[in-house]
Amino acid sequence: MPFELTILGSNSALPTSDRYPTAQVLKMPGRLFLIDCGEGTQIQLRRNKIGFSKIKHIFISHLHGDHYYGLIGLISTLNLLGLKTDIHIYSPSELKTLLQPQLDFIKGDMNVNLIFHPLNFKKPQQIYADKRVEVFSFPVKHSISTCGFLFREVKKQANIKKEMVLEYKIPIARIKEIKDGADYISPDGEVIKNEKLTTPPPHPRSYAFCTDTAFHLPIAEIIKDVDLLYHEATFLEAMRGFAEKTLHSTTIDAANMAKLANAKKLLIGHFSARYNDVELFEKEARTVFENTEAAREGKTYKA
């Protein structure tokens, strides 16, 4: 089953000729999530052959323009396509107020139904859940209220061994509780341990999105053991002073966060437009966390 992140934009405030502002698409089993929506997002969706009609959930981390200026254009396009669907937007509460004057001037009736879900900037909170996926927001450290997001598969039940069902003549009514971890007690009182009856379920995969933010220690515990971590690295370490002044992170900050969180892989992005060569970011971050890669437009990463 897919669990893939496609980078649509990896730059910070100023776009360059080959890097767009922040936008990503996360494909999870039966779900497609758009994370941030910087200028040019819908062009990048086209280039990467990602169908607009699949977008039902949009997550906006904060209200700096490079993270949401592409949203009104995308909404307009969805409406022009005649898509009669609900679009859930998880964002700062002020976003609805900012968009409303533009929405009022969209020609014709609104086909799409926008449903806004305000984020909590004081504590972690579950903001979405279904049978397969759960999503959490959590506060990060920036110059305005900003949230990171943690996307995680719901842990599946253990798989019961068919040969054990036959051997111990386990009633169908008991199978669910065994899958949930219970032992089985036979009619003659024998206790058959759960580990003998089942095989473990697959490891639930996870992805964490952390930008814009300075290094913020509480994040590490929230995203602990994450499979894939995207953490901003706006500046190389030589510009640490400016990073701290603007509440952004350096490559070393991102690498230290990945190390503290025990992440399996680190993606760095949100690069300042002053840099042309993102390989410099990779090399520097790898001095602390080896399994680091610089996010690149159009590339897909698997958890």
Question: What CATH number does the domain containing 261 carry?
Answer: 3.60.15.10
**What pLDDT is recorded for position 107?**
64
How many structural domains are present in the chain?
2
Active-site choice (36, 66, 212, 227): 66
229 or 30, which is more confident: 229
Residues 210 and 125 grouped into a single domain: yes
Alpha-carbon separation of residue 277 from 154, 159, 204, 236, 274 (angstroms): 38, 47, 35, 11, 10
Q: Please say if 277 is a catalytic residue.
A: no
Q: In terms of domains, do 37 and 167 share one?
A: no
Residues 229 and 165 in one domain: no
Is 219's pLDDT higher than 80? yes
pTM value is 0.91
**Residue 207, domain extent:** 4-156+202-296
Same domain, 106 and 214: yes
302: in domain: no
Query: What's residue 70's pLDDT?
Result: 97
Task: For residues 120 and 212, state if they share a domain.
Answer: yes
Distance CA 153, CA 71 (A): 27
Whether residue 301 lies inside any domain: the answer is no
Asked if residue 224 belongs to a domain, the reply is yes
Give tens-digit pLDDT for 63-90: 999 999 999 999 999 999 988 999 999 9
Asked whether residue 31 is domain-assigned, the answer is: yes
Asked if residue 22 is part of any domain, the answer here is yes
- For the stretch 85-121, pLDDT in tens is 999 999 999 999 999 999 988 866 788 999 999 999 9
**Cα-based distances in Å from 132 to 50, 175, 223, 227, 247:** 21, 21, 19, 17, 35
Q: Angle, nearest 10°, between helix axes 94-104 and 71-80?
A: 50
Cα–Cα nearest to 32, from 51, 7, 49: 51
- Both 55 and 125 in one domain: the answer is yes
Instruction: Give domain status of residue 303, yes or no.
Output: no
Task: Measure the CA–CA gap between 235 and 278, rounded to whole angstroms.
Answer: 10
Residue 154: pLDDT above 80? yes
The model's pLDDT over 241-289, given as tens digits with 9 standing for 90+, comes to 999 999 999 999 999 999 999 999 999 999 999 999 999 999 999 999 9
Do 146 and 171 have their domain in common? Answer: no
- Residues 33, 168, single domain; the answer is no
pLDDT, residue 184, reads 87
- Mean pLDDT, the chain, whole residue set: 94
Contact 147, 139 (CB under 8 A): yes
Domain co-membership, 126 together with 17: yes
Do residues 219 and 188 both lie within one domain? no
Asked if residue 119 belongs to a domain, the reply is: yes
SS3 147: strand
Point out the domain boundary residue: 145, 170, 198.
Answer: 198
Q: Are residues 64 and 102 in the same domain?
A: yes
Cβ atoms within 10 Å, residue 36:
28
78 and 215 co-located in one domain:
yes
